[in-house]
């Protein structure tokens, strides 16, 4: 990861977050994208800030953003290094006004994230991780905390799950997990904060059995891996990026590789 000023990237994420908050604290309107997912002016305002600032700092590094995603695979197939951005992750949380939305910026090299920044504008909390520096959290007071995935086994096994995307498959798999680990504690988080919960040792596991997009996961993966955890597909392979289809399959985010992926065919046949 050469010649990247992480502090500059952090400043960009915070600037984008401030643009989001300008809209968040108004009576904003909600539109629909082609896939029927929600879109607000805040998504677009954040995208404009991030794209402009990253392009000015690093003109030779292309940007793939959720709000500027129409880049053909034949153009990006040869990208060895690029920015992967979700200008506003957790639009449903934004609309519901619970504060659990984030700005996500990741740097991808050779198909994997090597830098990740996640900013939570409403709470003024920032997470970042790099291969060189590890993972850190900066709270509202500017205090810096080094992040490590959960180190000590406890009486309960904590699973963090989506606040806005319930899954029947997950509920079935939870029954099997409970058999293995006994006491299961379940906590809900919005957006990429589920990755952050694993990175800072608040959860043992974040299972995602439904689809996501690459920009939803890249920054979180960089931070979890920098904190000593892992992000793998249901087949046990490290989650990778710049695929022909930008849609991810299911994956597991955990403190180690001991957790086995669910047998989805068994789950689906039982429903």
CATH number at residue 88: 3.30.540.10
In a domain, 251, yes or no: yes
In a domain, 1, yes or no: no
173 shares a domain with 112: no
234 shares a domain with 129: no
In a domain, 185, yes or no: yes
> Which domain, by its residues, includes 241?
157-270
Last residue of a domain, one of 147, 180, 195: 147
Cα separation of 214 and 130, whole Å?
18
Residue 36: per-residue pLDDT: 59
Residue 269 pLDDT exceeds 50: no
CA 175 to chain centre: 26
Neighbours of 72 (CB within 10 A): 7
Residue 177: per-residue pLDDT: 82
Which pTM value belongs to this model? 0.92
Stretch 95-113: mean pLDDT: 96
In a domain, 243, yes or no: yes
| The dihedral sign for the CA sequence 174, 214, 107, 164 | negative
96 shares a domain with 63: yes
> What CA–CA distances, in Å, run from 46 to 17, 86, 185?
7, 9, 35
CA 181 to chain centre: 26
Stretch 222-232: mean pLDDT: 97
132 shares a domain with 18: yes
**Residues contacting residue 33 through CB under 8 Å, at least 6 positions apart:** 39
Residue 167: CATH number of its domain: 3.40.190.80
163 shares a domain with 133: no
In a domain, 99, yes or no: yes
Last residue of a domain, one of 80, 115, 147: 147
Helices (H), the chain: 6-24, 41-57, 73-76, 91-96, 168-181, 193-199, 214-226, 264-270
170 shares a domain with 101: no
In a domain, 219, yes or no: yes
HSE value, Cβ hemisphere, 13 Å, CA-based, for 142: 0
Residue 271: per-residue pLDDT: 37
Last residue of a domain, one of 126, 147, 168: 147
Least confident among 102-116, 121-135, 171-185, 194-208? 171-185
Query: Please, are residues 51 and 59 in contact by the beta-carbon 8 Å criterion?
Result: no
Residue 14: per-residue pLDDT: 98
Cα separation of 139 and 5, whole Å?
20
14 shares a domain with 111: yes
CA 14 to chain centre: 16
Number of domains forming the structure of the chain? 2
Stretch 194-206: mean pLDDT: 96
- Top mean pLDDT of 25-34, 37-46, 100-109 is at 100-109
130 shares a domain with 54: yes
Which pLDDT band, with edges at 50, 70 and 90, does 264 fall under? low
Per-residue tokens: 240:
């990778």
142 shares a domain with 11: yes
Stretch 103-117: mean pLDDT: 98
Order of strands, sheet of 205-208, starting from the edge strand that comes earlier in the sequence: 184-189, 157-162, 205-208, 251-254, 230-233
Query: Please, are residues 129 and 199 in contact by the beta-carbon 8 Å criterion?
Result: yes
100 shares a domain with 35: yes
95 shares a domain with 225: no
Residue 266 pLDDT exceeds 60: no
38 shares a domain with 165: no
Helix (H) or strand (E) segment spanning residue 208: strand 205-208
């Amino acid at each position: 990861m050469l010649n990247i000023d992480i502090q500059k990237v952090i400043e960009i994420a915070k600037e984008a977050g401030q643009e989001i908050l300008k809209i968040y604290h108004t009576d904003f309107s909600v539109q629909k994208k082609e896939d029927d997912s929600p879109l607000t002016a805040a998504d677009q305002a954040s995208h404009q800030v991030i794209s402009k600032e990253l392009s000015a700092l690093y003109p030779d590094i292309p940007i793939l953003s959720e709000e500027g995603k129409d880049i053909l695979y034949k153009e990006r197939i040869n990208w060895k290094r690029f920015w992967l951005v979700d200008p506003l992750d957790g639009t449903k949380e934004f609309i519901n006004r619970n504060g659990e939305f984030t700005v996500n910026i990741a740097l991808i090299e050779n198909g994997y994230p090597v830098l990740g920044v996640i900013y939570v504008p409403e709470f003024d909390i920032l997470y970042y991780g790099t291969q060189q520096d590890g993972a850190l959290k900066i709270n509202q007071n500017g205090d810096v905390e080094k992040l490590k995935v959960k180190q000590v086994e406890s009486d309960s096994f904590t699973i963090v799950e989506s606040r806005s995307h319930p899954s029947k498959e997950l509920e079935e798999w939870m029954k099997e997990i409970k058999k293995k680990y006994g006491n299961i504690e379940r906590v809900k988080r919005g957006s990429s904060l589920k990755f952050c919960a694993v990175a800072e040792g608040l959860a043992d596991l974040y299972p995602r059995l439904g689809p996501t997009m690459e920009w939803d996961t890249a920054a979180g993966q960089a931070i979890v891996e920098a904190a000593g955890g892992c992000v793998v597909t249901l087949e046990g392979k490290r989650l990778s990026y710049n695929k022909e289809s930008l849609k991810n399959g299911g994956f597991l985010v955990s403190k180690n590789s001991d957790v086995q992926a669910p047998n989805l065919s068994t789950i689906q046949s039982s429903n």
